[in-house]
């Protein structure tokens, strides 16, 4: 702890980074009955805390290493932090980025006069290429989180917090990816303010630190979610894990809808739009308050970054009301007979605010309705389901069904009597030209596409839903194809939303 504390206090981050404000969020404070403060790391020159660690590491390099320049692999905020730092110090920088990286991020790095090398479809492929370039060019590699000087640079966020509050706050909520930010902050806070609770926040589908702390060793995830791409890390750093194991009190896990809701909360408080990873702190804070029932405390959330693709806002808006628990989605089964739909509307929906209503004739015995309604809380959602049952309408709550929320609600259209042997899969395609062509070219010639849905969400990866007619004798060949393809996928054939509507 003492070694890290000294490194934080002697950090050189302020040659490039700025001390960011700590602002109260009045509306959020009132609704949660606690004083909520936002640490505005989204106001750094590169719109992210990553500048702190990158600059601190580079500034401490020996003179010969500095002259040769620096190199890193990143598609996000670390790339901009390294590029900005190198320009400040007048040295060359090479940033290896996946070819799937949105153009806005590539352009941002190039504006900082760094050389951009595009390679591979994902971070792992970019990192492998970066390793080869390190050997070829002899440049210093700047790790995004697993380095003590990087961790110390990020730890200066905690130093500012203590000065800005005189140490008078109760809990701090910190986004967690590789663990550099929370490791530095936790080491500093437990040295100076041991009574402050340090809580990390991770997405449910990218919880490498939570899994590692639970096992007592670093765990490598098979796959990670792509929405909060700033924290999509399969394995946390060795140095950051050791510090987190000693000084972090707990990890809170949040889902995509909760993150979208938090983005809206931050916008209302600051009129700024943070990226999904940047909103994790607020999402975790809200979940912690609901779970623990705390009142009258001072709670701090770190807004870690604001490099948001504008195209992603549509997806965020779609999912926000679900994250706020203000919208519920239901599949309702009605008898296919005259008057049943009118009865459903007059006896059940009545004066309710309808957010979604999809129906198509699919058979002569039953009708399946996909309906969204505004609700005040979880209790109202449950009472709506009970009301349906009391009237005799069978229903299924789809509010937590990701297939329904991401795809089905946009494509309700009934079944086809012509389809046979259909299997349904979700894929995460790299958002780049040729991704679909590669998929189709690799397929068996006898496999027919029977369903397809894609919607651009402004991320590095596209979410694609595909139905295929696979003969029984080709099942093993199909599984081999999935593994060979290399895209992340998930089987959905047994999903009730698919069974009901598609």
Catalytic residues: 50, 304
Q: How far apart are CA 213 and CA 353, in angstroms?
A: 44
Residue 280: which residues within 8 A CB-CB, separation 6 or more? Answer: 173, 175, 176, 201, 202, 203, 228, 231, 254, 259, 262, 304
Closest CA to 149 of 212, 62, 64, 220: 62
Q: Both tokens of residue 501?
A: 């509507």
Tell me which DSSP letter residue 489 carries: E
Q: Helix 180-192 crosses helix 2-9 at what angle (to 10 degrees)?
A: 100
Contact 412, 367 (CB under 8 A): no
Closest CA to 501 of 421, 428, 405: 405
Q: How far apart are CA 138 and CA 255, in angstroms?
A: 41
Burial (0-12, 13-18, 19+ Cβ within 10 Å), 171? buried
Q: How far apart are CA 79 and CA 96, in angstroms?
A: 8
Contact 341, 334 (CB under 8 A): yes
Contact 254, 173 (CB under 8 A): no
Q: How far apart are CA 462 and CA 428, in angstroms?
A: 6
């Amino acid at each position: 702890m003492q070694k890290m504390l000294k490194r934080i206090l002697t950090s050189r981050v302020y040659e490039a980074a700025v001390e960011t404000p700590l602002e109260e969020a009045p509306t959020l404070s009132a609704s949660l009955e606690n004083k909520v403060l936002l640490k505005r790391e989204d106001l750094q020159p590169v719109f992210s805390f990553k500048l702190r660690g990158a600059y601190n590491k580079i500034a401490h390099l020996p003179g010969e290493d500095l002259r040769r320049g620096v190199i890193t692999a990143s598609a996000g905020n670390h790339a901009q932090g390294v590029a900005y730092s190198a320009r400040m110090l007048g040295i060359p920088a090479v940033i290896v980025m996946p070819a799937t990286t949105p153009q806005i991020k590539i352009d941002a790095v190039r504006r900082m006069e760094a050389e951009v090398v595009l390679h591979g479809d994902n971070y792992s492929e970019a990192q492998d290429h970066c390793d080869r370039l390190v050997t070829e060019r002899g440049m210093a590699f700047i790790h995004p989180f697993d380095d003590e000087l990087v961790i110390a640079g990020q730890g200066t966020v905690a130093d500012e917090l203590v000065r800005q509050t005189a140490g008078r706050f109760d809990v701090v909520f910190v986004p967690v990816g590789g663990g550099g930010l929370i490791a530095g902050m936790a080491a500093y806070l437990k040295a100076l303010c041991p009574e402050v609770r340090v809580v990390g926040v991770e997405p449910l589908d990218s919880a490498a630190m939570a899994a590692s702390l639970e096992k007592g060793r670093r765990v490598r995830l098979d796959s990670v979610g792509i929405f909060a791409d700033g924290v999509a890390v399969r394995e946390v750093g060795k140095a950051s894990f050791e510090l987190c194991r000693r000084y972090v009190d707990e990890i809170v896990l949040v889902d995509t809808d909760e993150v979208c809701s938090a983005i809206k909360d931050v916008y209302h408080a600051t009129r700024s739009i943070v990226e999904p990873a940047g909103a994790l702190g607020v999402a975790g804070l809200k979940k912690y308050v609901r779970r623990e029932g705390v009142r009258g405390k001072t709670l701090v959330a770190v807004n870690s970054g604001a490099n948001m693709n504008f195209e992603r806002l549509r997806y965020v808006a779609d999912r926000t009301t679900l994250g706020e628990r203000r919208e519920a989605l239901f599949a309702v089964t009605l008898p296919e007979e005259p008057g049943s739909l009118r009865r459903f509307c007059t006896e059940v929906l009545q004066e309710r605010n309808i957010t979604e209503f999809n129906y198509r004739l699919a058979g002569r015995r039953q009708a399946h309705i996909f309906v969204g309604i505004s609700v005040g809380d979880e209790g109202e959602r449950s009472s709506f389901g009970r009301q349906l049952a009391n009237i005799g309408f069978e229903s299924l709550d789809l509010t937590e069904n990701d297939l329904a929320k991401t795809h089905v609600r946009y494509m309700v259209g009934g079944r086809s009597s012509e389809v046979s042997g259909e299997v349904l899969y979700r894929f995460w395609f790299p958002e780049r030209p040729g991704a679909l062509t590669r998929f189709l070219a690799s397929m068996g010639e006898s496999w027919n596409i029977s369903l397809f849905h894609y919607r651009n969400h402004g991320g590095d990866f596209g979410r694609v839903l595909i139905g295929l007619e696979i003969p029984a004798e080709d099942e093993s060949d199909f599984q081999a194809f999935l593994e060979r393809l290399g895209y992340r996928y998930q089987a959905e054939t047994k999903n009730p939303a698919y069974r009901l509507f598609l």
